[in-house]
Structure formats: structure tokens, C-alpha cells
Amino acid sequence: YNPENLATLERYVETQAKENAYDLEANLAVLKLYQFNPAFFQTTVTAQILLKALTNLPHTDFTLCKCMIDQAHQEERPIRQILYLGDLLETCHFQSFWQALDENLDLLDGIAGFEDSVRKFICHVVGITYQHIDRWLLAEMLGDLSEPQLRVWMSKYGWTEAENGKIFICNQEENIKPKNIVYLESWHPLSDNLS
């Protein structure tokens, strides 16, 4: 955690943002250096790290990064807005997320692939939650996608048209994995214990 490496690591964070790459360990090193050297704290770099961590949901990277930022910096703009966006995603308030993002589009400047990464997370949640979903609801959850855009995501995840404006996601009953419960009882005869 040499502060002389900080400038190189900060440039690497920017490269990750531009090239839609992600390196959690390097990003955590930057945040740790900011903890050790508060005078070097860069709000813009921290915002990029948080946005990149959001692209890796459902993994816990975002929470880990958030915990490494002191409370005073968490109140700064744009960090406060990003934390709010993260809270909306983690609590599955997807429509509210897209509305809040529309009001803060400047946050995404220089972050390649952010929206599609979030859509992958939303599709993951939909895939483990729904058997059928209304077409309009799925489009809304994915950020008010147009019909052709929605078809691309449906195709990507193997979701199909169903009746009455619904989309078939999967048969969740087929995904239920039974668990075998094994009871192990040790039995010792009383006569062995008395001798």
C-alpha cells in the first residue's frame, strides 16, 4: 500500500471504466490507500470504482467498496447518488433505479457497458424469481426497452413468448433441488458405559 503507486492505480481504474474491464483487487487497493492517506482521496475515482462494482452484481463487491469509504465522503456528490442507485438495485427496485439513473446520467460519463451490465444483473434476478412475467413489466425493469431491444435480451436468456402478453422465463419447479437429509445417531449401549 505504497502511496507512490496511487497515481498508477487511479489511471488503471479509469482504463477499466473506458474499456469495460474490472479488477476488484486493484480497486480495493485504491480505496485502502485512500483510507491510509485521506489527503489523496479522489471523489471521481471513487465514483468510478463504485460504478464498476455495481456492474458486478450480484457479487458483494459494491458493499465491500462502500464499507471502505468513510461516512463524510459517502455524503459527497456523486458518491451519495451512486450509493442510492446501488441500494435500489440491491433491493430490486429496478424501475426506480432507471428513473434515478435518468436524473443522473452524468454519473456514467466514461463508464462503458454500465447499463448492459446492470441489465444482466436484472435478468439474473428475473431468471431466479419468475416463471412468467408480463412483457411490459420486463421491458420496464430493463429500462423501458424498445421491442427489438427486449427481443435481444429474451433471446440471450432463452426466454420465450407465452400467452396474453406474458414471457415464459423458466419452470422454477424444475430448478428445485431436493436435499437429502441424513440423520446420524450414535448409540452406545448402556451396559458399555457402566463398565
3-state secondary structure of 168: strand
Query: Do 8 and 97 sit in the same domain of this protein?
Result: yes
| pTM for this model (two decimals) | 0.85
Query: Do 56 and 136 sit in the same domain of this protein?
Result: no
The total domain count for the chain is 2
Instruction: Count CA within 13 A, CB hemisphere, residue 162.
Output: 14
In a domain, 121, yes or no: no
Instruction: Count CA within 13 A, CB hemisphere, residue 101.
Output: 22
pLDDT band for 163, please (50, 70, 90 cuts): confident
pLDDT in tens, 73-100: 999 999 999 999 999 999 999 999 999 9
167 bridge partner residues: 133, 161
Domain region containing 151: 130-195
Query: Do 107 and 182 sit in the same domain of this protein?
Result: no
pLDDT in tens, 101-137: 999 999 998 899 999 999 999 999 999 999 999 999 9
Query: Do 104 and 136 sit in the same domain of this protein?
Result: no
Query: Do 94 and 140 sit in the same domain of this protein?
Result: no
The Cα–Cα gap between 169 and 87 comes to: 25
Which H or E run includes 90?
A: helix 79-90
Pair 98, 35: CB distance under 8 Å: no
Query: Do 106 and 31 sit in the same domain of this protein?
Result: yes
The Cα–Cα gap between 136 and 193 comes to: 70
Q: Which long-range contacts (CB under 8 A, 24 or more apart) does 39-46 make?
A: 40/3, 40/6, 41/73, 42/10, 43/73, 43/76, 43/78, 43/79, 45/10, 45/13, 45/14, 46/73, 46/79
